[in-house]
Chains A and B, each alone.
Chain A
Amino acid sequence: MKHKIGFNKLNRVSAHRKALIKNMMTVLFKHERIETTHAKAVETRRAAEKMITRAKVGSVHNRRIAARKIQDEAVLNKLFTEIGPRFKDRAGGYTRILRIGNRAQDAADMVILELVDQKVEEKKAERNKRKAEKKAKEAKKAE
């Protein structure tokens, strides 16, 4: 029986939907944090969580199955060498969805979809560094 296994078709035909989810997943693993609509985020998460579960065990079989969906070699590599090992001790729930309000044009429910262990502190440090550099440059210009 096909009970309780529904999904959101996202108003697309199956090929279009598959391509969309592929792309979204690739971008998520590449940047670790993306901004999108709520519906797309939920569908992307379903697929991405399964990918990460596979990436935790880096067998050749798992890698080939993941490669069907993630066709960017660099991202695939990152998934298996970086993201998978990072989530070794976590039993599912690798992603987080944060609602950030409605989009200006069409009032779509926008969210941030991110990997839960995103290195926030490191990124902050990076940002502060960039800011300091900018300030230094401006100070030089002022001189």
Chain B
Amino acid sequence: MAVPKFRTSKARTRRRRSVNMKLTVPTIVQCGNCGNPVLLHRVCPKCGFYRGKQIFSPESK
């Protein structure tokens, strides 16, 4: 039966695993109405606008 000849070093293990450990930076854009930084495809929590429309009034939140 095939058996490993050498133990895998910490470095090798970590190098292999690190491929899937990358963190991604969320895309942040400026609100078209008030300039507040917002996540893409989200309603602006500050002014309640999305794609030029008032979705909710912020004082009710």
Contacts from A to B (Cβ < 8 Å): 98-101, 112, 120, 124, 127
Contact = CB atoms under 8 A, between A and B. Distances in A.
B50 A98 contact: yes
Interface residues of B, number: 11
A112 B53 CA distance: 14
Contacts, number: 22
Nearest to B57: A127
A99 B57 contact: no
Give 7 closest A-B pairs by Cβ, nearest first. Answer: A100-B43, A99-B42, A101-B42, A98-B43, A101-B45, A98-B55, A99-B41
Contacts of A100: 42-43, 45, 55-56
Q: B42, B54, B56: which has the most chain A beta carbons within 10 Å? A: B42
22 contacts: A98-B43, A98-B50, A98-B55, A99-B41, A99-B42, A99-B43, A100-B42, A100-B43, A100-B45, A100-B55, A100-B56, A101-B39, A101-B42, A101-B43, A101-B45, A112-B43, A112-B55, A112-B56, A120-B53, A120-B54, A124-B54, A127-B57
Interface string B43-61: 1010000100111110000
Contacts of B42: 99-101
A143 B47 CA distance: 33
B55 to A, nearest CB: 6
A127 B53 CA distance: 17
Given A112-B43, A120-B54, 16 more contacts: A98-B43, A98-B55, A99-B41, A99-B42, A100-B43, A100-B45, A100-B55, A100-B56, A101-B39, A101-B42, A101-B43, A101-B45, A112-B55, A112-B56, A120-B53, A127-B57
Contacts of B54: 120, 124
Contacts of A120: 53-54
